[in-house]
Every structure is written in C-alpha cells, then in structure tokens.
Structure 1
Amino acid sequence: MDITASIVSHGHGAQLAQLLDDLAGLAGPRPRRVIVTLNVPEPQRVAPLQGRHWPFEVEWLPNARPAGFGANHNRAFERDARLGASALLAVLNPDLRLRANPFEALVAALQTDARIGAAYPVQLDAAGRLQDHERLAPTPARLLRRHLLRRARELAPGQSPDWVNAAFLLLRRAAWTEVHGFDEGFHMYCEDVDLCLRLQLAGWRLARADAAVVEHAAQRASRRHLQPLVWHAGSLLRLWRSPAWRAWRVRLPAEADRPESIHRP
C-alpha cells in the first residue's frame, strides 16, 4: 500500500519494537515504508531492530540533538519525498498497539471524499476504554471547564471535532503539502490542534474511521511533570496568537464557546 509511516522514538525503544512487530504482523494492507526518527540515542534497544529483516522498507534517522514533535515528522516526510514519495502519510506514536489492521478502513475513509485530508482511528486504552482523542478548539473557557469541572468529553453525539490528537493520523500527501506540514514553532503540544485547524481552513476535512481501532497508552505528561507543563502552556500561547487560530475564531464566532454546538467544517 502506498503509505509511509513516521515514528519518533524519544527513548521508546521497547514500545517501538512492539509497534514495529505489530506493523510487520498485520494481515492485509500495511505501509510500504517506515521512517523511524531516533530523537535521543538508545543503541542497546535499537541495534537489534536495525539488524532485523522487516516486510517493509525501514529508514533510520538519528538526531544529533533532540528536535520537536512536528519537526521530526516533517523531516521524515521530506526524506520520504526524496526516496520516492508515498501518496499517504501516517503519523504514528511509538506507544500505539495495533491489535487489528486499521489501514484498510482508514484508506476507505479517505476514498469516500476527495476533500478528506486526514483520517483517524478510534483510540482505546489498554482496558478498552475510549480515549479522549477528539476535541473542540481549546479556548481558555473550555480548558477551565475541562480541568475544574473534570469534563472529559467535549463532543455531543454526532458532533464533529475541531481537532484530533496526532497519535495516529493518515493524511493525503496533497493535503500535508498544501499546509506545509506541522508548524515547527510548536516544540511539543498543540501542533496537532494547529495542523487540524489549518487543514480545515484550507478546505480539507477530517474523518473518523469507526472500523479502525487502535490502542494508545496516552501519557498525559504535562499533568505530572514540570517541563511538559511549561511546553504545553507555551504551545497554547503560541496557538492563541497564531493566524490559524484567529481565522478559526472568525469562522465560527458565535459557536466557539458552546460545547453543545455542532461544528461541521
């Protein structure tokens, strides 16, 4: 299948090995190329993986120094273009597990409408509970409701999300190229919000593939550690000052702070 997957490991060698094994064991369509960015050195864990034969092409990109989430995926897909560009690009977190093959359903979702720029799976945790991966734009008021009132679900039944997290996205290269990929000014956090908003502002749509289900061990590091919290706060400030945010707010001025409203880009 004409898909290139990008995985960034920041000391995730054990989880990376599991994900690569999951990809190799998929029955049916799977990526033809996997690009693994090693954001920090981890030779003891990675060397055995580099020495194995995989049923897909694997490119290893070691970083001289750590880069941000968006920058790493951008570099991977630029590398893919030089090697022979795939039509579809998959952003995969190393902490995913693929218990069944999600790619066929994701590709089918893209094929239902030529203006769907990104398809995404349903994300569950290890206990089978639905993850909070579809959300509305993170206004200050919504963030207060989320954290003070512990409102974990923002979407009403049938409501379209403004953005979805980038633990697993399957994108058309045409859409990715049009919006110039991730904004590398976001070191970590909110780059997926920004990408989803810019895709939709450019006329592309997001689509959930209900038949595609993955397991994601979300870390929520910004709730437990100071440095991720600082990054998260800085990313929110960058997002709220961005042209994409201003354009999105102008587009839906009356609905932006009403969780019950239905957003259909």
Structure 2
Amino acid sequence: MRLIISTVSHNHSDMIVNMDSLRQAADVADVHVICRDNAPQEELKGYCQQNGVTYIANTSKKGFSANNNLNFLHYLSTLEPQSDDYFLLLNPDVQITPQALENLRQFIGLSGKEIVAGNLYLDVDEHVEDDNIRHFPKLWSFISAYAMNNRSTVIRKADIRDVQSPLWASGALIAVKASVYQQLGGLDEKYYMYCEDIDFCYRAHKAGYQVAFSEETKAVHWRQRASRKLLSRYFVWHLSSALRFCFARKKVRSKRSKIYQVDNLKSI
C-alpha cells in the first residue's frame, strides 16, 4: 500500500523546512510526497529537491481544492497508480512523524476503510485536541460558532465510537483511497478555501462512504485560525464557503473539478 502525500504551501517555506516532516515522510518506504508551491519560494524548492520531495511551482495562485486536485492529477500521470494507493491530504502546518504514517497504514490495512482521518493535537504534549472531527453543520452552526463560540458540532474523540450520525473530518490530515478520490471527483474547486473538506465528506457519505478515525495517527496542527479575524479576506472566504455548503448541500455537485476536465482519464 502506497501513501501519496499532497501538501500545498502558501508562503509556508520556513514552517515546512523547520518541521522537516516532508523529508521524513519521503524517507518512508512506499510514501511519495508532492509539494505544490502556490507562491514559489526558492528555499522550499531547494529543500524539496534535496530531500526526495516532488516540487511543483504554480504560475498563478489557486485555492486549496484546485491545488490538491492538481497534485492528484500529477500522481495519476507520473506514479503509475495502483488499486490500493491512498491519497493523503496534509496541511503544510501539520507536523507528522514516520511512525504516525506507519500507524495510518496499519489502520487502513486492518480496517479496510476508504476514508481515514488522523488524530490532530494543538500541542506536542498531546494535551489539547484539535476539533478536526465534527458533525455536519447547518447555517446556524456557523453563525453561532463565531458569535457565541458554539461547539455543538464538535465530537469528542473519546466518544467517537458511539457516534451514529455521519461526520466529517478536516482536510488538514485525511487519507482517501485514490480510486474513491477519483470516483468522487476530488475536491469541489468552487470552494477556494474552507469547507471543501465538509463538502467532500458529505458527498462521500451520500455515495456510501463513511469517515473513519485512526486514534494512533497522531500529528500536531500548528493552525493559524486566520478566518477568526472579522472582515479579513480569510473570514470572507470562510463565510462564503459556509453559505455555499449550507445552501447547496441538497443539490450535491461534484463536477466542478479538474479531475473531470481531463480527456481520456483512466480509472484506477
């Protein structure tokens, strides 16, 4: 089983180099790392080229969905896709170890699950959980989360085995069987940033796939939470994405992806 790691840098060169997770991941057998640079930086290019990481520089800036879909198309065209490959979305601000990647691979091998979320923390001591596993939101959930810090959609990881309703997982660390990612058309590129992971998990749920949680796939998420700053461009992106999801969920659309725009695309 191969893991194809997809990372997108938005001026994250210093963070990626200092964490060194991509080099460590690339050293693991049957792990291929693709790093797309949305705002090309020479330091990141040199780091990737020296450490066995595939480096791709964009000629124009793109959103989270488009960038990861482009990485998936690069995988399809250059890495001779295999039926048991998994495509792993990994944020540039997530610090993961080779052991965590092996734990993920073992979990997939034992469970056979097509979509697997990692166990994210906000500190290296693993005292503070990242809220990366949640119930699907409604519009009021988004509004109350900002206005009143409503955490009603958050699922405590200790209780996750008792959750009966479908859930979604953050795209900061989520592995998807490559054939399923292709079947679902990848991420919807109408979402420039934020909520594309909610949309993807919702479409996966409608297609009969459920998100599984791998407790031992532990990583640290050094998140910035820029979307919490009112009237910032990140806040506007988050708000527009939330509105898009809440008003479009009853008419799920998955064709807005470069994966559907490539002629003669072979199925995995």
TM range (shorter): 0.7 to 0.9
Q: Does structure 1 residue 67 correspond to structure 2 residue 62? A: yes
2:195 maps to what in 1? 190
Does structure 1 conserve the Cα–Cα contact (< 8 Å) formed by 2:26 and 2:33?
Answer: no
2:239 maps to what in 1? 233
Q: Quick one: distance in 1 between partners of 2:25 and 2:10? A: 24
- Give the alignment's Cα RMSD to 1 decimal: 2.4
Report the Cα offset of residue 100 of structure 1. Answer: 5.7
Q: Quick one: distance in 1 between partners of 2:99 and 2:26? A: 7
1:135-166 Cα deviation digits (max 9, x unpaired)? 11121222244334323363363326621110
1:214-243 Cα deviation digits (max 9, x unpaired)? 00012111112610111111111211232x
Does structure 1 conserve the Cα–Cα contact (< 8 Å) formed by 2:23 and 2:51?
Answer: no
Report the Cα offset of residue 74 of structure 1. Answer: 0.4
1:252 maps to what in 2? none
* Greater mean deviation of Cα atoms: 45-54 or 197-206: 45-54
Give aligned-pair identity as a percent: 25
Q: Quick one: distance in 1 between partners of 2:48 and 2:105? A: 28
Q: Quick one: distance in 1 between partners of 2:33 and 2:22? A: 9
1:176 maps to what in 2? 181
Equivalences, count: 240
Report the Cα offset of residue 99 of structure 1. Answer: 4.5
Secondary structure, aligned partner of 1:213: strand
2:38 maps to what in 1? 39
1:73-129 Cα deviation digits (max 9, x unpaired)? 000011101112251111111111125622222223333444x22111110012531
2:250 maps to what in 1? 246
Q: Quick one: distance in 2 between partners of 1:108 and 1:199? A: 22
Output the amino acid matched with 1:125. L
1:43-83 Cα deviation digits (max 9, x unpaired)? 2x2243144143xxx22211111001010000001110111
Does structure 2 conserve the Cα–Cα contact (< 8 Å) formed by 1:123 and 1:216?
Answer: yes
Which of 97, 116, 119 is 2:116 aligned to? 119
Report the Cα offset of residue 22 of structure 1. Answer: 2.6
Output the amino acid matched with 1:108. Q
1:10-51 Cα deviation digits (max 9, x unpaired)? 1000122245x33443699555311110101212x2243144
Which of 49, 52, 58 is 2:50 aligned to? 52
* Greater mean deviation of Cα atoms: 97-106 or 198-207: 97-106
Q: Quick one: distance in 2 between partners of 1:176 and 1:131? A: 24
Does structure 1 conserve the Cα–Cα contact (< 8 Å) formed by 2:95 and 2:219?
Answer: yes
Report the Cα offset of residue 197 of structure 1. Answer: 0.6
Does structure 2 conserve the Cα–Cα contact (< 8 Å) formed by 1:125 and 1:216?
Answer: yes
2:151 maps to what in 1? 152
TM-score in terms of structure 1 length? 0.82
Q: Quick one: distance in 2 between partners of 1:98 and 1:152? A: 26
Does structure 2 conserve the Cα–Cα contact (< 8 Å) formed by 1:132 and 1:152?
Answer: no
Output the amino acid matched with 1:135. R
Secondary structure, aligned partner of 1:241: helix
1:209 maps to what in 2? 214
Q: Quick one: distance in 2 between partners of 1:194 and 1:51? A: 34
Q: Quick one: distance in 1 between partners of 2:64 and 2:29? A: 23
Does structure 2 conserve the Cα–Cα contact (< 8 Å) formed by 1:88 and 1:171?
Answer: yes
Q: Quick one: distance in 1 between partners of 2:200 and 2:28? A: 26
Q: Quick one: distance in 1 between partners of 2:28 and 2:12? A: 25
2:264 maps to what in 1? none
